[in-house]
Amino acid sequence: MAERLSFSDEVSNLLYAAHGNPLTTCIQCGTCSGTCPVVPYMDHTPRRLIGMITAGLKEEVMASNTYWSCASCYHCNVRCPQGIDIAELMYALKRLSIWRAQHKEGLIGPVFSETFVKTIFKSGRSYEPVLATSYLFTFGVQEFLQEAQTATSLMLKGRLPVLPPRIKRLDNFGRMLRRIIPMGDAK
Amino acid sequence: MNSQKHLLIIDDDPDFVAGIRSILESANYLVDVAYNPKDGFEALQSKPYDMLLLDIMMGRGAEGVMVARKMRKDPKLRELPVLIITGIREQIAFLFPGGPVHPRFVEVDELVEKPVEPKLLLERVSALLQSAQAKKASPA
């Protein structure tokens, strides 16, 4: 019987189609962590997360909020001297944590992505007023009011749709999606 | 009787693979594993297998579906029986709460959902192998 796959191999299998170099080439220089604009919100920096993956600390990695905090600015990718696709790694971990239902409780990221995909599936377009409610209530009163104020002025200027937008020929779109994900009712 | 049947598993979940692998091996099947679709497809092309056990959600998304479709286009691999074992319903439950997986959207021989009972798994595998053999023996 062959050896069990390590966590680091599991992650590299998730990344098999990414263009970057393998995580094992990381030299732990910390450029990614120094570059990342959202490090203050992460419980482990990207450098540390890569180190933890290589060390096989699966539970700690899956329980961290690092990959859900990632803003996908791709600055780490640009500056990584080893050419590792760090932003794609964060996406891979997001996928993995949703598939295995292992992410931390109370994060905005998973709920936000799920709501986003749901609205796209339903109407073919994203609809901000619905999207915003997925995270708005986690804010404090002041931020909440500020957001509401911004939304109102955006709406008055016609920059935010009042009614949810719908694309034409939604049926075709639905069929297309079901070619990709073979689920739901057969129509 | 003829020799051991050679199976290939393409699945990215090492825990699940370890489980079904030991079930299949104890039932005297020869089992190979590929942990990503690319390695899996290369393995399929390099060696003749008797059957493929395929996961759906791998790598970038629903890549198992792509593997199944690619196989249907390959004249050599078209005949290979494919059993999809998927946890897709749980994995994207937020999209289709309670929605069924529709095998008719992917052309495969059979589909079972994770978690799969060992008895059911062995039953399906042997049934598929038998029907594939019958097909080979008497081409319609």
**Mind listing the domains of chain B with CATH numbers?**
6-137 (3.40.50.2300)
Of B12, B59, B65, the CB nearest to A182: B65
- Please state, in angstroms and as integers, the Cα–Cα distance from residue B139 to each residue in B58, B62, B131, following that order: 34, 32, 12
Q: Which residues of A touch B87 (CB under 8 A)?
A: 99
Domains and CATH numbers, chain A: 7-99 (1.10.1060.10), 108-180 (no CATH)
Chain B positions touching A85 (Cβ under 8 A) are: none
**Which parts of chain B have pLDDT scores under 70?**
1-2, 93-94, 96-108, 139-140
- Name the phi and psi angles at A183, rounded to 5: -140, 170
Q: What percent of chain A has pLDDT over 90?
A: 45
Contact by Cβ (8 Å): B124, B110: yes
Q: Which of A149, A117, A115, A153 is nearest to A135 (CA)?
A: A115
Give the confidence band of A1 by pLDDT, cuts at 50, 70, 90: very low
Q: Is the pLDDT of residue A2 over 80?
A: no
CA dihedral A108, A114, A115, A116 (to 10 degrees): 100
Q: Region A6-32: what's the mean pLDDT?
A: 91
**Sequence-ordered alpha helix ranges (H) in A106-167:** 108-123, 128-136, 141-156
Q: Which amino acid is at A113?
A: S
Contacts of A56 (CB under 8 A, 6+ apart): A6, A7, A8
Using an 8 Å CB-CB cutoff, list chain A residues near B60.
17, 95
Q: Give this prediction's pTM.
A: 0.85
Place of tokens 């942990």: B35
Q: Which of B18, B57, B92 sits opposite A4 (nearest CB)?
A: B18
Find the closest chain A residue to B30 by CA distance. Answer: A1
For the four alpha carbons of A28, A34, A37 and A40, in that order, the dihedral sign comes to positive
CA distance from start to end of chain B: 25
**Which residues does residue A6 pair with via DSSP β-bridges, in sequence order?**
none
Look up residue B54 and give its two tokens.
């395929």
Is A185 within 8 Å of B99 when comparing Cβ atoms? yes
Region A166-179: what's the mean pLDDT? 86
* Close Cβ partners of B66 (under 8 Å, ≥ 6 residues apart): B37
User: Could you tell me if A182 and B91 are in contact, meaning their C-beta atoms sit under 8 angstroms apart?
Assistant: no
- Are the C-beta atoms of residues A56 and A12 closer than 8 Å to each other? no
Which helix (H) or strand (E) segment holds residue B29: the answer is none
Question: Which ipTM score applies to this complex?
Answer: 0.82
> For A118, which of B88, B94, B106 is closest by C-beta distance?
B94
Spatial separation of the C-alpha atoms in residues A65 and A155, rounded to whole Å: 33
Q: Is A130 left (phi over 0), alpha (psi -120 to 50) or beta?
A: alpha
Give the Cα separation of A105 and A91 in Å (integer): 18
Contact A183, B101 (CB under 8 A): yes
The reported pLDDT for the residue numbered B98 is 59
